[in-house]
Structure 1
Amino acid sequence: MGLHVPFTFRSKPSVCVIYIDIATTPSFIFIDLKDEELIREFGEEITIKTDFNGRLPKQDDYPALVELRDAIFTSLKALPAFITKRTLLTV
């Protein structure tokens, strides 16, 4: 089940649905974008690589995509579901 995450990108509020995979280290967060403008620019799905302390670089990074990933990661790292996953991995 996905988690709806509100975030702000380029001064515009938006929402995405995330799925957190903790089966590997580092972990991956799969993101379904819902905003039509963002979908046209970045595609329907993007992925964030993380160690749950921060966003890790990916080979497909470029400035606009990094900015989007950072905006989403900043919003989701304060969510209880994310904090719970991070706690599970550090115990």
Structure 2
Amino acid sequence: MADETETTRLTAWVHGSVQGVGFRWWTRSRALELGLVGHARNLPDGRVEVVAEGPGRDCRRLLDTLRTGNSPGRVNTVVERWSDPRGGLDGFVER
């Protein structure tokens, strides 16, 4: 993961009962509170993919929030990947 203040890209795959329960909307709200840009989208296999860019510390906070169990639905596990930011994102949207 990048330095705490350096812009980074987090891709997280959320496994569990997370589709059809408001999870993407909830994730969008948390990401916007942190000032992150990106998206949350349902995948055909039942996971939700979350892509967020912003300061490393804020991406880490979002990841920690996804893992709290205080979200809609039920999160079984979250798989993460850190990479360089790609830019070109505006706001945080549900796809």
TM-score (norm 2): 0.31
**Which structure dedicates a bigger proportion of its chain to strand?**
2
TM-score (norm 1): 0.32
**Which structure dedicates a bigger proportion of its chain to helix?**
1
